[in-house]
Amino acid sequence: MSISDSKENAARVSALREGFTKTFGHHPEGIWRAPGRVNLIGEHTDYNMGYVLPFAIDKNALVAIRRKSQLEPESTTLDFASTYGGADSNPVTSITIDELVPKAVPGWAAYPAAVVWALNELDGVQLSGFELLVDSDVPVGSGLSSSHALEVGTIVALNDLYDLGLSHTRMAQLTQRAENEFVGAPTGIMDQSASLMSQAQHALFLDCRSMEAATVPLPLAEHDAVVLVIDTRVEHSHVDGGYAARRRSCEQACEVLGVDALRDVASVDALEAIDDPVIKRRAKHIVTENQRVLQTVKVLGEGDLDAVGELLYQSHVSMRDDYEISSEELDAAVEAALAAGAIGARMTGGGFGGSAIALIHREQVEPVSQAVLEAFEQAGYVQPNIFTVAADEGAGRA
Ligand code: GAF
């Protein structure tokens, strides 16, 4: 049984079905599930055409939909509602398909709207109006990809309902376009791919240039190990400057080196040709991070968790010192977890806030969590949200 079939998930699915009926006056045609993700290693390598190793987590967005075609065949109105407010009744935002203008839809509704926009841009696809209700337990702004879960939940639902026949890779590319052009966040392709293509108890080894994907078994159960998430509750966003600035530095490095993407740089020696010390450091992170992903896949195959832990920490140091996307809170979480005996730890996701992960033995859940809580309290940081995650399967019908 996968984690997504758990009792808790089943209860959320039936609550969402009821909520839909209350909100729109009839049953949904179906409910689809799309998970958030943790990235084990391979940060900011996706838009550099490199390697990533994320896994889908047992926290997900649930999307309930009903097309209007039976009752109102001409309607192009999209009615979006969410359970986010926690109230009994879910307020509905309505917009027609021809009113979908990039960067003009505020709030969470931008994500399903972006997907409709991207699909409608395809030749031969014309969506009709529909009602959508969403529920998610992926913490928002935590670097666990809550927005991509929403986009992926929407695209898998529409792919089924409108019989579009899109492959996982195509859906990942379309949601990336939706995110880049409609939402306005210049993100890569890792998060959608993890949400779409993951397999339970495995990480997804993705080559972001060829889009070749392989699942890599995570030998956690045999080592009685788990992944702990430490959500610093410092919210991050990829629409603002930091993420885009890192992307630009990588492009500048490529210009100096005469390569299409930093993926094409095999060794840090080649970076000597870059004069600007900041651009050189940024490029160094990408080149070394790609090597760390390949190395992690290898040591995972050998069942060597200590070696995985070492690579996770090297990745963190690289993001802290060379890519400069960590934060005081993320550094404190990583150091406290390691001091309390974690096998390895690093920040995960885009950075500038969000979450860190720690690879720990199961009996360390309490002591490591306690150590992190104390470190945060002593430093006067907001209390972090700490929980374990399991590697779950990718999106599908709930
Ligand atoms: C965010 C982006 F959405 C991903 O594409 C990726 O670049 C990640 O940051 C950093 O590895 O999650």
User: Would you say the CB of residue 187 lies under 6 angstroms from ligand 1?
Assistant: yes
175 alpha carbon – ligand 1 mean position (Å) = 13
pLDDT of the residue at 73? 84
Would you call 304 a catalytic residue per the annotation?
Answer: no
Contact 35, 88 (CB under 8 A): no
The predicted structure's pLDDT at residue 236: 75
- Residue pair 51/294 in contact (Cβ under 8 Å)? The answer is yes
The pLDDT of residue 2 = 66
CATH fold for the domain made of 217-389: Alpha-Beta Plaits (3.30.70)
Distance CA 226, CA 272 (A): 40
As for the ipTM of the complex, it is 0.99
pLDDT string in tens for the chain (398-residue length): 567 778 888 999 999 999 999 999 999 999 999 999 999 999 999 999 999 999 999 999 999 999 998 788 899 999 999 998 876 677 899 999 999 999 989 999 999 999 999 999 999 999 999 999 999 999 998 999 999 999 999 999 999 999 999 999 999 999 999 999 999 999 999 999 999 999 999 999 999 999 999 999 999 999 999 999 999 999 876 666 899 999 999 999 999 999 999 999 999 999 999 999 999 999 999 999 999 999 999 999 999 999 999 999 999 999 999 999 999 999 999 999 999 999 999 999 999 999 999 999 999 999 999 999 999 999 999 999 999 999 999 999 99
> How far apart, in Å, are the Cα atoms of 120 and each of 130, 148, 168?
14, 19, 18
Q: How far does residue 351's CA lie from ligand 1's centre (Å)? A: 9
Is 353 a pocket residue for ligand 1 (Cβ < 6 Å)?
no
Smallest CA separation from ligand 1 atom 8, residue = 350
Class of residue 270 by CB neighbours under 10 A (exposed 0-12, middle 13-18, buried 19+)? middle
Residue 244 CA: distances (Å) to CA of 18, 65, 121: 41, 33, 25
285 lines ligand 1 (CB under 6 A): no
139 CA to centre of ligand 1 in angstroms: 16
Please tell me the pTM assigned to this model: 0.96
Instruction: Classify burial at 128, counting beta carbons within 10 Å of its beta carbon; exposed 0-12, middle 13-18, buried 19 or more.
Output: middle
Could you tell which of 43, 45, 46 is best to mutate to test the pocket of ligand 1, judged by most ligand atoms within 8 Å of the CB?
Answer: 46
Ligand 1 atom closest to Cα of residue 190: 5
Amino acid at 192: Q
DSSP 139: P
* Domain covering 3-215: architecture: 2-Layer Sandwich (3.30)
Residue nearest to atom 9 of ligand 1 (CA): 350
Give me the residue spans of the domains in the chain: 3-215, 217-389
- Residue-wise pLDDT for 219-229, tens only, equals 999 999 999 99
Is the CB of residue 172 below 6 angstroms from any atom belonging to ligand 1? no
Burial class (CB in 10 A: 0-12, 13-18, 19+), 223: middle
> Residue 300 corresponds to which tokens in the numbers above?
């995972």
Determine if ligand 1 sits within 6 Å of the CB of residue 188. Answer: yes
From 368, 373, 349, select the one nearest 358 (Cα to Cα): 368
Ligand 1: does its nearest atom lie under 6 Å from the Cβ of 46? Answer: yes
Is there a contact between 57 and 194 (Cβ–Cβ < 8 Å)?
no
3-state secondary structure of 220: coil
Residue 143 CA, chain-centre distance (Å), reads: 7
Are 350 and 325 in contact, with CB atoms under 8 Å apart?
Answer: yes
- CA 45 / ligand 1 centre spacing (Å): 8
Q: What percent of the chain has pLDDT over 90?
A: 92
**What's the CA-to-centroid distance between 286 and ligand 1, angstroms?**
13
Are 141 and 235 in contact by the 8 Å Cβ rule? The answer is yes
Q: Give the count of beta carbons closer than 10 Å to the beta carbon of residue 121.
A: 14
Identify the residue whose C-alpha is closest to ligand 1 atom 3: 187
Measure 44 CA to ligand 1 centroid, in angstroms. 6
* Active-site annotation holder among 58, 79, 191, 322: 191
Angle at Cα 310 formed by Cα 294 and Cα 321, nearest 5°? 90
Give yes or no for residue 44 CB within 6 A of ligand 1: yes
- Pick the closest to residue 109 from 128, 82, 139 (CA basis): 82
Three-state SS at 305: helix
**Cα–Cα distance list, 201 to 56, 152, 220, 311 (Å):** 9, 20, 8, 20
Q: What is the pLDDT of residues 80-118, one digit of tens each?
A: 999 988 766 778 999 999 999 999 899 999 999 999 999
Q: Are 326 and 316 in contact (CB under 8 A)?
A: yes
